[in-house]
Structure 1
């Protein structure tokens, strides 16, 4: 790790700040970021009997956003970390079919609250702001931030603080948490460029419009694989800070706040997968997820929601 304050990226060391202190039809969609903020709100419905209803009907309506490797279209089917992992969980719950809707990331939470789907499965980051509107599962993955830079890393950029010191221009996805990370690290607002989608980050780097592209390491590693031969590279992951507090990126499934029975049942099956790293990697390793992305037992959604 480039910063001395960052914990080792393994199951014991990758702790939350609280722990440290103690075959599917698709709808059209857009490529967006797993860490984006959502627009709009809605009123949760009474979901006390949702789990029983889903078991009876045999399918669950799932909202996805089109971002690889979390959830994306591949040959007419939904692929990626979230659909693969969640399909396994729902099958174990006696719900054999996913009926997905691929949509813009910013429309996921409003769509959930408007009852367009029952669950959001998009690798969405667990944040206090989102927890005020919806209910998250326990973490299904963790991922630190990383930088994609031009080949050879001409400005020797290792983290966002080094970007600020070098006067570098940093690209972030529109609405993504990386913008706040850059600001906290001292990168001036004028040096932060918003980009609509992941591929725009690669294109902007190659064109010299930005010096670094900040996103989760998982996403950037995947982006590098899909741009083989491009003169870019991904640096060592790091853990950004805001106000001296390390920001650990953890994602999970999203439910309406009343859907406690479904969420709790989901968590029980999820724990069987995250508690068995070999099984976890066998399921989603092809999307770039390794044992380093397995969330430690000490990392809890309640702590992440508390901020």
Structure 2
């Protein structure tokens, strides 16, 4: 299982097999150095992609969002994007591995056509690239001991029970906990996800708070723990959905719009969404609300 560089992906710090009919292209799993822009004056990018038969996607090797396993490209974003591009008449994904911080610069340089990495939609990123409508939201959950002995359901219940919770260093969950009125001495900071799981197992904390997506993935290797149902915390009166989406080069609005039309078909069909993404821990609770729009998320 890959490590989770959540701080970069979620923007917390100001910050050889088929997949739905699309194949990993051999030799394409290393970063590309050639700058070959996909867009240009008057170019029909989607027509070009259909003609060449593949779309160049970048991933950051972060499970469960976009990663490789035994040379096979997997994860939420590649699986969803494979399905969408196949519907658009583009049969293959040609993947490029990138450091997370290099994803948008590489896109701007024309090294690939789409970022397929579950990237959080933020105003800062919107200034440099085009985002699809949200592919998912990241409701919060808690990892607890099997049986949930403290009967925790959300941060309000944690405050009422007077329990000690854990959050990851630098992550927004700490601010959510404080906003819910949990005392600072009841909030412990952990350096990474496995540290949080170990702290729950060792009784040093009663619950580890993170996104449900990440915690369900973490639970696969920590069978003595379980994950509570998700909830949406509030901060300064606003619900914190933490949405993510596909990313396109500025100027490729037509490609982005075509992608969005197919994406809407999936996010409007709960059964299809869950069928596609449940292998990566995504559930119906990760389906974005229809009222959650990228145009609003991109506003500073």
Which category of TM-score, normalised to the shorter sequence, fits these structures? 0.7 to 0.9
1:113 lines up with 2:105 in the alignment: no
For 1:44-193, list aligned pairs within 5 A. Answer: 47-48=39-40, 49=43, 50-153=45-148, 157-163=152-158, 166=162, 168-172=164-168, 175-186=170-181, 191-193=187-189
- TM-score normalised according to structure 2 size: 0.75
Q: Give the unaligned 5+ runs of structure 2.
A: 16-36
Post-superposition Cα deviations, 1:186-235, rounded to whole Å, max 9, x if no partner, equal 45678452534x3343234334554432222122123213332x3x2212
Question: Any conservation in 2 of the 1:146–1:237 contact (CA below 8 Å)?
Answer: yes
CA distance, structure 2, for counterparts of residue 281 and residue 84 of structure 1: 12
- 1:36–1:175 CA contact under 8 A, matched in 2: no
Name the residue aligned to 1:217: 212
Of residues 242, 266, 278, the one that matches 2:259 is 266
CA–CA distance in structure 1, aligned partners of residues 146 and 256 of structure 2:
44
Alignment match, 2:30: none
Q: Structure 1-normalised TM-score?
A: 0.74
Match of 1:291 in 2: 284
Alignment match, 1:9: none
In structure 2, C-alpha distance between the alignment counterparts of 1:217 and 1:277, rounded to whole Å? 18
Q: 1:244 to 1:36 in 2, by over 3 A?
A: same
Indicate if the aligned counterparts of 1:135 and 1:255 stay in contact, CA closer than 8 A.
yes
Q: CA deviation at 1:153?
A: 4.3
CA RMSD of aligned residues (A): 3.1
Shift of the 113–159 alpha-carbon distance from structure 1 to 2, 3 Å rule, reads farther
* Aligned with 2:4 (options 24, 31, 35): 31
Compared CA separation, residues 32 and 295, structure 1 to 2 (3 A): same
Among candidates 212, 229, 234, match of residue 236 of structure 1: 229
Q: Is residue 250 of structure 2 the alignment partner of residue 277 of structure 1? A: no
Give the number of aligned pairs: 271
Provide structure 1 residue ranges, at least 5 long, that are not aligned to the other structure: 1-28
- Kindly indicate whether the alpha-carbon contact (under 8 Å) linking 1:32 and 1:66 is maintained by their aligned counterparts in 2: no
Whether the 8 Å contact between 1:35 and 1:177 is mirrored in structure 2 is no
The one of the two structures with greater contact order (alpha-carbon pairs below 8 A, sep at least 6) is: 1
